[in-house]
A and B are shown apart, each in its own frame.
Chain A
Amino acid sequence: MTAAPNPAPLLIVGDPAAAACEGDFCAVPGQEQALVNRRLDADLV
């Protein structure tokens, strides 16, 4: 793949925790805590 010329650096703005997909994984904000809560409710933890 041909490398693209380096563009000017971007000023990153907005919520850094906003939901996004990287590779196959699409992060769900709050999901990990929700899973833990469910396990606690089911006395699995």
Chain B
Amino acid sequence: MSRPRREYPGLPAVVLRVSEAIKVDIWSDVQCPWCYIGKRKFEDGAAQFGGDVEVEYHSFELSPDTPVDFDGNTVDYLSQRKGMPVAQVEEMLERVTGIAKSVGLDYDFEHVHQTNTVIAHELLHFAKSKGRQLDMKERLLKAYFVEGHHVGRIADLADLAAEIGLDRAEAVAALEAHSYLADVKADVAQAQAYGIQGVPFFVIDGKYGVSGAQEAAAFANVLEQARTGRDAAQSDSAEMDSADTDAESEQVAP
């Protein structure tokens, strides 16, 4: 992007620094417990950072082979389909629930509806087209982990869309037509191109990769690192511009 230049007679060109938000692309799945916890920690870290941050969520399907109407909760799913001992699953979920509680989230795995999330991802793209992706993401995560809503069926998803003010009929039409499926697949392909294997995964300013539900301070640090990197690049560029202007002045000097 070109930087605005203001020129004054007899003085070198001045490069005006434009404050731009740091872009954060987040790959995440709706039924990923660390994604919701990581979302809270990232938000805390962004608040500590204090600068402008622009967030965009991207689709990642952890378990694309899960049926929409799996009859059971997370314990049933992991024990029946993945062969994990029930006691081990329960202990794992108990620990995750405790960590979620520490960031203000009341996970209720007993009432979770394990499902296929591809249509939920399509809804997130639909919401993005309306400028409401962040609200939709929060609503979906809360619906799934806290409130025990089903997030795999179009009717349930459309209800959630309507709750945040989106047009329910329009959402149903978009989901039934799978108008945003290609966008979901493009996100998944982009994740593969980056080499992303797990979520949540954060790409900061297109340069830094952060995997997992890091502590808030870690997010704040990398955001600061991105800002510092930008400032250094702008400073170098400004010096080059100034040198160019000096050279031009010497050439036209009598």
Contact = CB atoms under 8 A, between A and B. Distances in A.
Interface string A5-21: 11110111111111111
Given A1-B185, A15-B215, A22 B206 contact: no
In this complex, the member of A6, A10, A23 whose beta carbon has the largest number of chain B beta carbons within 10 angstroms is A10
B34 interface: yes
A1 B191 CA distance: 12
B212 A14 contact: yes
Interface residues of A, number: 31
Contacts of B154: none
A25 B215 CA distance: 21
B222 A21 contact: no
Contacts, number: 111
A30 B197 CA distance: 21
B33 A26 contact: yes
Contacts of A6: 193
A39 B78 CA distance: 21
B198 A13 contact: no
Interface string B208-219: 111111110011
A7 B186 CA distance: 13
A25 B200 CA distance: 13
B48 interface: no
Contact of B218 (A10, A12, A15, A20): A15
B92 A28 contact: yes
B185 A10 contact: no
Given A1-B188, A14-B222, A24 B193 contact: no
Contacts of A14: 210-212, 214, 218-219, 222
A4 to B, nearest CB: 4
Nearest to A17: B212
Interface string B222-240: 1001000000000000000
Contacts of B199: 20-21
Interface string B162-191: 000000000000000000000001101110
B6 interface: no
Contacts of A40: none
Interface of A: 1-8, 10-26, 28, 30-31, 34-35, 38
Given A7-B194, A11-B207, A24-B62, 18 more contacts: A2-B189, A4-B192, A4-B193, A5-B193, A6-B193, A13-B208, A13-B222, A14-B210, A14-B212, A15-B218, A18-B213, A18-B218, A19-B38, A21-B33, A22-B197, A26-B33, A26-B92, A28-B96
